[in-house]
Structure 1
């Protein structure tokens, strides 16, 4: 079951804020008036009881400031995420906790995703968090195609608008029995280390380098084409198409902790900026 936490947070913030506001504008003065009347009549016990805030009002006034701060920070400044899979290896591994900037691509309306204040646009090579088409889950991939781009991917070679992306082969790891091959791609101001996996097809005797789905794509206006750095093991734009602009969550900027599960201790050895 996928929980829409941004929507829940927005509803909780609005609800507690409205309750606190109604109390401030209407209910509090009525409680004070009833308490004063009871005090004037000498009913001190009654005065104390009617002066007390109802449970819902008390809890709303307590939680609203905290929820409001979390809502603003999470919606407009930065948000933490955990890498859930191996699709961005070798740069980002499962269990990495990353920080996502929410303002690099403009201030966006929480939940709805429309841009309130334009600040910048995704650049080729950025590592971006987003919602895929028709999928409520957060994904993280690298921006490969910008609006209007023509993308080709064949034989492990990425070509954008007719120009082959410079690629430097880093060889297999380990050399004596490689299970993956690495290469560096130059994407704008970014250098991405991509990974291809080695496997044996069903019924075959020889190992092959699996580079993932191949094809040709034309990126529509207002959309972006995303690919995982682990080209041989990534569900990305080659499978489900293009990411609409309103589905963008933010730019992944840094790794701040690695913690894969409760059976190991958190580590900070991988901390650093995301390339």
Structure 2
């Protein structure tokens, strides 16, 4: 016991620093690695994004208890949140606000009866795993004046059609930018506001860790410090 107390006393400055860093990450800002392809081409595996935890609410640290609402989530925001299905941390884009009617027809998003424009379509080869390349159709979708990149993967089986869903009060409808490879609100349902963690607004660092030739680690400097649109 005396040895433990002596160790704690000797390293109290470092311990206070770690506690402060943990509090900062749970209440103010966080950084999250991107582990999956659900937000391609906006975000890629190997990106580490900066998340503003004070974008919408001040919460009691380590809980979903909202102490003070700070701002309203906006359509087009890229957010991290806890899945209402199993608590897994996810990152997706808000496409539906409380009260919106959301539907999809042949992969085209329709909000409140208005199809969201998709422009500038181009075809690319998309590597899903080493040796497996599929066609990807990339375009720019306009969410009420907030354009963002998205893509479709026609070769994959995906849910590209669903009837009108009204987003409940205090909830948000999420979609991944990689529409045909994303387990989003089409699977987990709409997300309650208290489950929102924060808004992802910038890529901090990025590295290509899975290339066509297998595992590797190559920095993608062109993505460092880039804004998330």
Class of the TM-score when normalised by the shorter of the 2 chains: 0.7 to 0.9
TM-score normalised to structure 1 length:
0.71
**Is 1:241 paired with 2:197?**
no
In the aligned structure 2, how far is the partner of 1:189 from the partner of 1:255? 22
Flag as ranges the 4+ runs of structure 1 deviating above 3 A.
Answer: 59-64, 210-213
Contact 1:81-1:100 within 8 A present in 2 as well? yes
Q: Which has the larger radius of gyration?
A: 1
**Is 1:230 paired with 2:186?**
no
Residue 138 of structure 1: CA displacement?
A: 1.1
Residue 71 of structure 1: CA displacement?
A: 2.5
1:30-179 paired onto structure 2 within 5 Å: 54-55=5-6, 57-58=8-9, 61-173=12-124, 179=135
**Is 1:265 paired with 2:212?**
no
List gaps (5 residues or longer) in structure 1.
Answer: 1-49, 201-209
TM-score normalised to structure 2 length:
0.84
Task: Tell me the equivalent position of 2:137.
Answer: 181
Larger % of helix: which? 1
Task: Tell me the equivalent position of 1:256.
Answer: 204
Q: CA RMSD in A?
A: 2.4
Residues 25-83 of structure 1, C-alpha deviation per residue, up to 9 Å, x if partnerless?
xxxxxxxxxxxxxxxxxxxxxxxxx9x98347526834441133213321232111111
Contact 1:165-1:187 within 8 A present in 2 as well? yes
List gaps (5 residues or longer) in structure 2.
Answer: 126-132, 210-214
Contact 1:148-1:221 within 8 A present in 2 as well? yes
Greater relative contact order (Cα < 8 A, sep 6+): 2
Contact 1:82-1:98 within 8 A present in 2 as well? yes
In the aligned structure 1, how far is the partner of 2:87 from the partner of 2:178? 22
SS in 1 for 2:216: coil
Contact 1:155-1:211 within 8 A present in 2 as well? no
